[in-house]
Chain A
Amino acid sequence: MNLFRGLPIYPEPASENALRYDLLFWTITLLSFFFFVLVGGLALYFVAKYRSGSNVVRSNPMDHHTGLEILWSGIPILLALAVFAWSTNNFVNHQRRMPKDALEVFVIGKRWMWHLQHMNGIRENNELHVPVGTPVKMTMISQDVIHAMYLPDFRAQFHVVPGRYTELHFTPTKVGRFKMLCAMHCGTKHSEMVGFVHVMEKAEFARWLENGGNRNIPVALDMKERGAQVWAEKNCGNCHGDSDNVRGPSLAGLMGSKRQMTDGTTVLADRTYVRDSITAPWRQITQGYRAEMPEYSNLTEPDILALTAFIESLTKPSGEAPADALSPRDKTRPLTSADDNVTDIANKYGKPVVGQQQLGGSRK
């Protein structure tokens, strides 16, 4: 029996979704088992009973029976529809509905590692630290081929695709170390694209943040600050000012708004849209403008992410800030009204800032 000690038969249920998932999984298992035993058992029984030469009644065999056909198509259809409804509800309303107040983590997949970045600028490779009981939302992109972020103990997975942002969320319920795998074949060292999620007590996580991720290296810039730096380096403000002007539209209040395109379509300005507008601006042109913007496809993925985060924080100077534009962690240090002014922010963070930034601790 020693051989079987510690032999796992199910993955640890370590997220809020895991139990919901396992309930459906084992229900389908039960149904499958029932049908397998029913059909398999019946077949074996018939084989035994009607072995050629056995002394049983074989007269008046049926060749077909429409009622029976309807019955054994109908019952599986009904069961299938029930499982479909249950599963679709789980998927649409839980797996794929992103929580509003989640801790945001940015993921860049590249051959063959996971690069993760917290909103406050802490970066990690193949490791992720998160607090227990808090929803975590990953915004993911690949730098090369398609990867898949797979967190078996959280029953969460989604593809990480080059050229577009995808999302995934989970709420860890257990403290501990959990696997973080790539589940899409990505080349030679696919099986080494492996890391761990460290789920910590909330207080411990706060301390970890304060220490800049226990690295004793001060975090230089948070994501928006780095984004502002990129903004200044590339002189984005030359064309995209506080308000729309003849060169380009203002980006204040852009994120989450509906944009009219020159081809008559309406596009929701999400992160993928912003990314596309940076790397391939000629694809979709806002109504009233011409395809004049050069493409900035040589920006690195982390810089694009930072720039996107910065653009996301821009709000209309006079109007109210849309509540969703800032992620909750950053609301603890709200931007001043002066910050809301595009040019001001760029001026403020545009200069190279090294080592004298406040650490995560100052904003809790």
Chain B
Amino acid sequence: MSTTLQEQIASPERGVKKNYLNADHTIASWLLTTDHKRIAVLYLVSISIMFFIGSIAAAFVRFELTSPYGQWLTSEQYNKMFTAHGVVMIFFFLIPSVPAVLGNFVLPMAIGARDLAFPRLNLLSWYFFVIAAVLMLATLAMGGIDTGWTFYTPLSSLYSDTQVTMALVAAFIAGFSSIFTGLNFVATVHKMRAPGMTWFRMPLFVWGSYATSLVILLGTPVVAITLLLVLFERVFKIGIFSPELGGDPVLFQHMFWFYSHPAVYIMILPAMGVVSELFACFSRRRVFGYEFVAFSSLGIASLGFLVWGHHMFLSSQSVFQGVVFSLLSFMVAIPSAVKAFNWTVTLYKGSVHLTTPMIYALAFLGLFLIGGLTGLYLASMDTDVHLTGTYFIVAHFHYVMVGGGILGFLGGLHFWWPKMFGRMYSEFWGRLSALIVFVGFNFTFFPQFMLGYLGMPRRYHLYAFAPEWQFYNVLSTAGATVLGVGFLLPAFYLTASLVKGKKAGPNPWGAKGLEWENADSPPITENFERIPIVTGQVYDYDAEEDSRLIRAELDDHERRDKAHLPGEH
């Protein structure tokens, strides 16, 4: 790959190098920016706030469940808490997390573009996100909603007397925010790749983001329409989903899951892309079976649209429908398995650096394995009968969405943090918090598999009729406390790194890729001085050479230490 780095370094203007962060300091320059990097930072701040709010709600839920008798909240408050947790985390954290923060920042640079295809649309996307988020927080402040994030009819349309209408509007607007991002990514990947950046030279993170964008574009409009129909039924009493008004309650589930199952892939596919980058960089190897991993993303994206009915095996859809959905659900597991195998084999003959991002990637692999394998119980119709609607489901999707989605996000954030802000964070705290997250996560959610198998339904406030479930609930809450600490730590050491962190330099990880090799950290507003021309393969690592250098360095140290020892005595 050609480099223009020398030119960038060679042209320091007035002592301080210009980059996208110090290009302008006014508030307006941030709020009216069309720079994809600045929008990524705006998104990072916004979703971090939402993550914090969603976590508080989760803390209330977990705290309340330590007692079978529900001692602190009323059932109504409890229902509002878990709904707030679900709605905020899914619509306002998980869905935008990797695409809108890491994707926004990295994707244009990774393919050698100066910005996304539609920079102003990108900014509009963030404004839609903020409007939706503020509206949702207002909804919560005005009393909240108690329907669960799934908004099942007719509970949401005719029975709940909470602020459902406003919440639906907020979710509707949030949908447009992600549609804009998806649209931007698709256009950018198709039209703005640098010379020489062929499809099969694209990093797997770009492939993952591209597949995700297709899912967003095709799926989100459907859920937007669905939520609007619920709104119409609720406000104007037009019978669509309510049998009392002549509607069909199961129709809602079809329409809702047509988006919301693919939405799981919106959360996990880009995280898988991130993890591919991490495995390649920190094993110093090309990702094993690059083409298979790339196509598995598209496979998951397209098959993911055909499996929504597995949420509805017991909904009174026909048995035949169930059989078809079950078969397709088993099939969608295959591309995920392919990814897991390929990542593992990437380590083989690699030169593995156990840095913070790599620990997140390995943790991702472990948790995603459990999340994926427990999906088999739910794709299989018979085992689903006893487990659907229980804590088994809760544990399963947290393993996928937190163990997969959030760990992928954190891994990526730690990986690209030096690129984003030009500073290194404390490796010690980074590794420690990654381990705390991993341990805390398992203590939180593994007991919930047990609870589900024992028959504890999800969204239960009281379980006085089954006090034998308390042990697992207390264990889960204890784990959640540890997990909370693990999530809170990065807020401190990452923030501290902005001030005290040592300068990262353009490529602190020795990573391959245009954003590392051809741009400064933090990059200039235009990303590159000159558009790079790509001449080599992607992931052009050499593990043998890397390890040889490190060994030589170690030997060097050893020799020097030995030479010094006699003198010190």
Contacts and interface: CB of A to CB of B under 8 A. Distances in A.
Interface of A: 3-4, 6-11, 21, 24-25, 28, 31-32, 35-36, 39-40, 42-43, 46-47, 50-55, 57-59, 61-65, 68-69, 72-73, 76-77, 80-81, 83-84, 86-88, 90-92, 94-96, 111, 144-146, 148, 150, 152-153, 155-159, 161-164, 166, 179, 181-192, 194, 280
B414 to A, nearest CB: 18
6 contacts: A43-B365, A46-B344, A77-B334, A95-B381, A185-B148, A185-B458
Contacts, number: 277
B389 A191 contact: no
B457 A24 contact: no
A36 B369 contact: yes
A72 B75 contact: no
A40 B438 CA distance: 14
A138 to B, nearest CB: 13
Contacts of B366: 40, 43
B373 A162 contact: no
Contacts of A64: 288-292
Interface stretch (B16-24, B300-308, B322-330): B322-330
Interface in B261-306: 283-286, 288-292
B547 A54 contact: yes
Contacts of B232: none
A39 B547 contact: no
B386 interface: yes
Interface centre among A50, A61, A179, A280 (most CB of B within 10 A): A61
B383 A111 contact: no
B457 A150 contact: yes
Nearest to B284: A52
Given A25-B377, A28-B383, A185-B147, A179 B466 contact: yes
Nearest to B148: A185
B350 interface: yes
A36 B373 contact: yes
Interface in B456-510: 457-463, 465-466, 468, 471
B529 interface: no
B352 interface: yes
Contact of B159 (A73, A111, A148, A280): A111
Nearest to B351: A52
B543 A163 contact: no
A28 B453 CA distance: 13
Contacts of B453: 10-11, 25
B53 to A, nearest CB: 21
Contact of A39 (B291, B340, B461): B340
B430 to A, nearest CB: 17
A176 B242 CA distance: 38
Contacts of B333: 76, 80
A50 B286 contact: no
Interface size class of B (residues with CB under 8 A): 35 or more
B347 interface: yes
A162 B243 contact: yes
B249 A148 contact: no
Nearest to A182: B457
A182 B460 CA distance: 9
Contact of A162 (B154, B330, B342): B154
A275 to B, nearest CB: 10
Interface string B226-254: 00000000000000001110101110000
Interface of B: 75-76, 79, 146-148, 150, 152, 154-155, 159-160, 242-244, 246, 248-250, 283-286, 288-292, 313-316, 319, 322-323, 326-327, 330-331, 333-334, 337-338, 340-345, 347-354, 362, 365-366, 369-370, 373-374, 376-377, 379-383, 385-386, 388-390, 450, 453-455, 457-463, 465-466, 468, 471, 543-544, 546-547, 550-551, 553-554
Q: Which one of B334, B337, B543 has the highest number of Cβ atoms from chain A below 10 Å of its Cβ?
A: B337
A25 B385 contact: no
B277 to A, nearest CB: 16
Contact of B330 (A24, A84, A185, A188): A84
B454 A10 contact: yes
A295 B316 CA distance: 24
Contact of A91 (B315, B381, B550): B381
A91 B465 contact: no
Given A53-B547, A63-B286, A185 B376 contact: no
Contacts of B146: 187-188
Contact of B75 (A8, A92, A95, A189): A189
A148 B450 contact: no
A188 B76 contact: yes
A42 B288 contact: no
Contacts of B349: 50, 57-58, 61-62
B347 A63 contact: no
Contacts of A145: 152, 154-155, 159
A305 to B, nearest CB: 16
Given A43-B366, A87-B380, 7 more contacts: A47-B362, A50-B351, A61-B350, A163-B243, A185-B152, A187-B155, A190-B459
A61 B457 contact: no
B460 A24 contact: no
Given A63-B290, A92-B323, A46 B369 contact: no
Contacts of A43: 343-344, 347, 362, 365-366
A28 B377 contact: yes
A91 B159 contact: no
Contacts of A80: 330-331, 333-334, 376
A179 B456 CA distance: 10
A164 B365 contact: no
Contacts of B386: 11, 21, 25, 152, 155-157
A7 B286 CA distance: 48
B79 A188 contact: yes
B385 A155 contact: yes
Contact of B389 (A92, A156, A166, A184): A184
